[in-house]
Amino acid sequence: MLKQNPYQNVRYQWGAYAVFFALIALIPLSMDDAFLLNQLSTYGVYGILALSLSLCWGFGGILNLGQGIAFGLGAYGMAMTMQMQTQDAADPIPPFMLNNGLDALPAIWEPFANTGLGIFLALAVPTLYCLIFGALMFQARVSGPFFAIMTLAMLSAIYTVFIDLQYLTNGVNGISPPQSLMLGSLEVDPYSTTSFWGVYIVLLVCTIAAKLITLSKFGLIVRAQNNDAERVRFLGYNVAVYETLIYTISGLMAALAGCCFAYLTQYVSPSQFDVSFSISIVIWAAIGGRGSLLWAILGAFIVQGAQSYLGDEFLNTWILILGFFFILVVRFLPTGLAGLVETLLGRLVSGGISLSPGIEQPSKSSE
Amino acid sequence: MDIGSITSAVFLGLSIGSVFLVAALGLAIIYGTAGVINMAHGELIMLGAYSTFMMQTVLGLPFFICIPLSFVIVGFIGYLIEKVLISSLYNRPLDTLLATWGVSLVLMQGVRIIFGSDPKYVEVPSFLSTNIDLGIVNLSTFRLFVMFICLIMVLATWYLFYRTTFGIKVRAVTQNKDMAASFGINSSRIYSITFAIGAGLAGVAGSLFGAMNIVLPTMGTSYVVEAFLMVVAGGGGLLGSILASALTGQIQSAFAFIYNDTYARFLVFVLIVIFLRFRPQGMISAGASRR
């Protein structure tokens, strides 16, 4: 009788989450460098993004190369809200619009004058986008690499539109609200512990939600359709509904990350829709381990941490190394670092026999 | 809306379509044969442009000789990529996509480190940088030249795949790899050669685009998404890609005529998404298995 790999034990997994978040909670208590704290908060944003992609790609098998869409839309919504907070009735038009020769506030901007409505829209618009785009694609049974290409196409289309709509989005310069976010009378200073807690509580909530989803019956069907969509269809499930839902949930999380990003950096620009940013998200999840929520987050921390540790003068070489590393991971270690840990733990327990089934893509049978 | 502006819009559409097709042809061959989504295609185009630039500045070769030579150089690079990386990933379609994406990152960054981020320029013979006035329409000679090369590329590809023994082998492997293998066809060799040819066509595209625009390490990304859409909307085959490129070129030209270039691009992308909702197999489905 073989012992179970502790990696696959759900109780240990919850334990690992508890340890991870407890360690994170120690950071603001032991640090008073506001700049570093702000940087670590942005890592939390990257963590949420990697988590959202892991949920959609690792568990659902839906490779989303356009995760930047939901992220960017969320970030723009938040930045617009923050920008409108600094405007008042006497001066309702943001300065860059005046530079573009507008004499009235565009209708699209008006709801963002209300902070609550603005934040709601920052989350609702990307979610709705994912719902519509996902439903269109999955009902037509577009899946696998084809779906990935379509998300990339939409990303590139939205990128050009946001640059082109100069009078609404300030083009390539982006929007940089002059003040911190105000929630009622609470000022969310991006360099404070408050904003650090804000980001990591979002990450915690998203992680727990994602874990519960993967453990639920819904999550089981999502994972089943990843393995063999046709068989799940024969069992009477509407696969498109499950695919659309998991894609939309993942998009909502990315939108949350976008909101956090906007209040942390007080800046958004079309570079959030840049293909290279969405590539980074995929690289984080792939290196950490797409099939593991926690390892995807750690992947983001490791890659981004290494990038900022090595500094700007080394950046060009670093991207080259990262690219090579990514190729190696895809080629030899499709489960990422998580798979490595899983195998090692399995060896440790059962003395040489690997129990890890891995999450290699099954070769798609012809339809 | 007079005859002249409509004719020039149609010609512009043909010209846009031929650019799409030049970019998409290599991709379509690789996808149609091996089912590989080659995300590094744009960077192969970029390499074609840089090799043309290098051949001109270092060796002083004329532009017309650079075009076939970029086919050879980039084709060889593609052959190496296939042998080293892709040949072991054929049964993992999503991972092929990711691996080639990594390749594109490495190529782009490598070129950036070697050549820097500043733009390079490809010289063309002076008669190609003029305009021809045909009374109603005013056309750039280089655009006509691109259409001409596009035609040659399509005809050569068609001849290779439908009129030669090699083409029969390729189609046999595409239809049923195991059956083809039992008739003594070395499928992995066929895949390698097809990949090399597809990459070579990207190199030719690079020579043309490098001369049409400026040469930058990031130039490939702007072509690759459109090229993919042509292949996906066309259904993965040669004929489908031609049809999709021609149609999309016309639609984009018409939208650009009414609105502007950016909206045209955006609307075309959205239209393709909606089109695929109703016809996921593309315009001309290969009839064989959908991957």
Question: Which residues of chain A are within 8 Å of residue B278 when distances are taken between CB atoms?
Answer: 140
Q: What end-to-end distance do the CA atoms of chain B give, in Å?
A: 44
Residue in A with minimal Cα distance to B39: A149
What does the longest C-alpha to C-alpha distance in chain B come to? 61
Does B10 map to a domain?
no
CA distances to A79, B12, B14 from A123, rounded to whole Å, are 12, 41, 42
Question: Which residues of chain A are within 8 Å of residue B99 when distances are taken between CB atoms?
Answer: 327, 330-331
What does the longest C-alpha to C-alpha distance in chain A come to? 77
Residue in A with minimal Cα distance to B91: A363
Of B109, B269, B274, the CB nearest to A319: B109
Checking if the pLDDT of A347 tops 90, the result is no
Does B100 map to a domain?
yes
Of A316, A322, A361, the CB nearest to B94: A361
Hey, of A156, A316, A325, A335, which one would you mutate to test binding to chain B, going by the most B CBs within 10 A of its CB? A156
Q: What is the model's pLDDT at position B260?
A: 78
Residue in B with minimal Cα distance to A138: B277
Does B1 map to a domain?
no
Tell me: the pLDDT tens digits for A277-313?
A: 998 899 999 999 888 899 999 999 999 888 888 877 7
E-only strand ranges, chain A: 181-183, 186-188
Checking if the pLDDT of B287 tops 60, the result is no
Task: Tell me how many domains chain B contains.
Answer: 1
| CA distance linking residue B98 with residue A187, whole number of Å | 42
Does B281 map to a domain?
no
For chain A, what is the mean pLDDT? 86
E-only strand ranges, B55-182: 131-133, 138-140
Min Cα distance B175 → chain A (Å) is 12
Please determine, for the modelled complex, whether the ipTM score is greater than 0.90: no
Does B11 map to a domain?
no
Hey, of B84, B87, B92, B94, which one would you mutate to test binding to chain A, going by the most A CBs within 10 A of its CB? B94
Task: State the pLDDT confidence band at A206, using cuts at 50, 70 and 90.
Answer: very high
Of B95, B106, B265, the CB nearest to A320: B106
For chain B, what is the mean pLDDT? 87
pLDDT (mean) for A134-143: 88
The DSSP H or E segment spanning B145 is helix B141-162
Checking if the pLDDT of A242 tops 60, the result is yes
Checking if the pLDDT of A361 tops 80, the result is no
Residue closest to A24 by CA, chosen among A13, A16, A34: A16
**What are φ and ψ of residue A353, in 5° steps?**
-95, 120
Checking if the pLDDT of A256 tops 90, the result is yes
Does B187 map to a domain?
yes
- Report CA Rg, chain B: 19
Q: Which residue has the higher pLDDT, A90 or A176?
A: A176
Q: What is the model's pLDDT at position A254?
A: 95
Q: What is the model's pLDDT at position B286?
A: 59
| CA distance linking residue B77 with residue B73, whole number of Å | 6
Tell me: the pLDDT tens digits for A37-73?
A: 888 899 999 999 999 999 999 999 999 999 999 999 9
CB contact under 8 A, A146 and B263: no
CA distances to A30, B9, B31, B195, B205 from B26, rounded to whole Å, are 56, 27, 9, 8, 9
- The pTM of the full predicted model, rounded to 2 decimals, is 0.88
Checking if the pLDDT of A364 tops 50, the result is no
Q: How far is CA A210 from the centre of its chain?
A: 12
Does B8 map to a domain?
no
pLDDT (mean) for A25-33: 81
Task: State the pLDDT confidence band at B201, using cuts at 50, 70 and 90.
Answer: very high
Tell me: the pLDDT tens digits for B102-125?
A: 999 999 999 999 998 889 998 888
| CA distance linking residue A247 with residue A131, whole number of Å | 8
Checking if the pLDDT of A216 tops 80, the result is yes
Whether residue B76 lies within 8 A of chain A, CB to CB, comes out as: no
Highest mean pLDDT out of A18-32, A177-191, B75-89: B75-89
Tell me: the pLDDT tens digits for B9-39?
A: 888 888 888 888 988 999 999 988 888 888 8
Q: Which residues contact B238 (CB under 8 A, 6 or more apart)?
A: B25, B28, B29, B32, B154, B157, B158, B161
Q: What is the model's pLDDT at position B291?
A: 40
Q: How far is CA B136 from the centre of its chain?
A: 31
Question: ∠A27-A29-A35 over CA atoms, to 5°?
Answer: 60
Tokens 């999955």 correspond to what residue? A138
Q: Which residue has the higher pLDDT, A7 or A125?
A: A125
Domain that holds residue B70: 19-228
Residue closest to A214 by CA, chosen among A147, A290, A143: A290
Task: State the pLDDT confidence band at B200, using cuts at 50, 70 and 90.
Answer: very high
Residue closest to A7 by CA, chosen among A249, A357, A324: A357
pLDDT (mean) for B224-249: 87
Min Cα distance A198 → chain B (Å) is 33
Checking if the pLDDT of A363 tops 80, the result is no
Interface A-B: count of C-beta contacts within 8 A: 128
Structural tokens at position A155: 């990303």
CB contact under 8 A, B94 and A140: no
Does B201 map to a domain?
yes
